[in-house]
Amino acid sequence: MSPSTSTLSPIAFPDVTLPESAHRLRAEVRAFLDEERARGTVLGRPDSWLAGWDPGFSRRLAERGWVGMALPTEYGGAGRGFLERYVVIEELLAAGAPVSAHWVSDRQAGPSVLQHGTEDQRRFFLPRIAAGQCFFSIGMSEKSSGSDLASVATRAEHTADGWRLTGTKMWTGGAHVNDYAIVLARTDDAEDRHAGLSQFIVDLRAPGVRVEPIRLMSGEHRFNALHLEGVDVPDGMLLGQRGGGWKQVTGELAFERSGPERYLSTFPLLVSLLRELEQRPATAEQLTRIGILAARLHSVRRLSLGVAAALDAGASPDTQAALVKDLGTQLEGALVDTVRSILPTPADPHATPGSHPELLAFALLHSPGYTLRGGTNEILRGIITRGLEQH
């Protein structure tokens, strides 16, 4: 694909045209979602990739080959690439489908194991991920480090049988229900604090693992403090090279920061607004503001698609991914604020599920995390600036 240049930045993004197969796939996903709505599993809520934990739904997706889509067929995946995967998750997120059970496994754990794992790790984990039978969390952030991953204090000491991990990871989504976590820990002291870091696959049911809930303002239990209190990890669960953790993590963040969840988390609320306005006349000013939101959505979507195309081509578009997340998370908040101002309906978390007041309350209670998760906007802008300097 020939590169094009975004008007927002001199950083190049591939020019993307989806193949005809992607349009057929989109129709298949929409038909599946209609079936799931009839079952009552798709509620159209914002933040479904974070808050919609439904392993049964994940397994039904997997039966259709829609989990682990970009993984090679020899490891149980569909071998369809990131652009076709993009179409599937775009439809799922726009519908507010409950995808959080397999989300991290599909988005980044699977690709990380594929790229950095041993053959034994690939043979064990990847088919289970693609079948919707193995769910991962990510153990990166810590209480005193925030988005500064190089300052992690979790230690991994080498033992006769492997490694012993000690430390606490914060904001570990799904650690109370998932099977494994990929944990970043310091294995060696080095003058360069980016050196001496390694990644480990940790069984979340192993002795010494303690999960402490961190509840959202709504009372929901999505995140945790993951305490590793002398957890023994076999040598075979070191992911990648000892001391290569920093490079591996920064490459992994391209998967985490660039997908449709960075601009579609609050999309169901926009759909709800449009349905409400069907019942009453909209003013020209309201329509203009909705049009601005739609234009911003389209722009960020094009950038996000460009990252998916770059991943398909084998690139590591870390800077482009940071730009997508920065713009996308700003849009998430702006969408909620604009919807509130256009239709000043009181938010009510106890209203009828799926109603506009209930969806608005859900989006508002989740909004503090929009510009934090996956790296704060300030950290992202530093990454973008360094990328610009290299151009």
Give the pLDDT score at 381: 65
**Pick the residue with more confidence: 265 or 64?**
64
- Quick one: how far is CA 303 from the chain centroid? 16
On the question of pLDDT at 4 being above 60, the answer is no
Sequence-ordered strand ranges (E) for 3-45: 3-5, 12-14
Characterize the bridge pairing of strands 162-169 and 180-186: unpaired
On the question of pLDDT at 2 being above 50, the answer is no
Q: What is the DSSP letter of 346?
A: P
pLDDT digits (tens, 9 = 90+) for 272-284: 999 999 888 889 9
Characterize the bridge pairing of strands 180-186 and 136-139: parallel
Report the percent of the chain where pLDDT is more than 70.
Answer: 88
* Lowest mean per-residue pLDDT among 29-43, 127-141, 361-375: 361-375
Tell me which residue of 378, 106, 156 sits closest to 261, measured CA to CA.
106
On the question of pLDDT at 382 being above 80, the answer is no
pLDDT digits (tens, 9 = 90+) for 136-152: 999 998 987 766 777 89
Residue 301 CA to residue 387 CA, distance in Å, equals 21
On the question of pLDDT at 185 being above 90, the answer is yes
Give the pLDDT score at 344: 87
Tell me which residue of 177, 326, 157, 321 sits closest to 255, measured CA to CA.
321
**Residue 364 to residues 40, 171, 281, 359: CA-CA distances in angstroms?**
24, 19, 25, 9
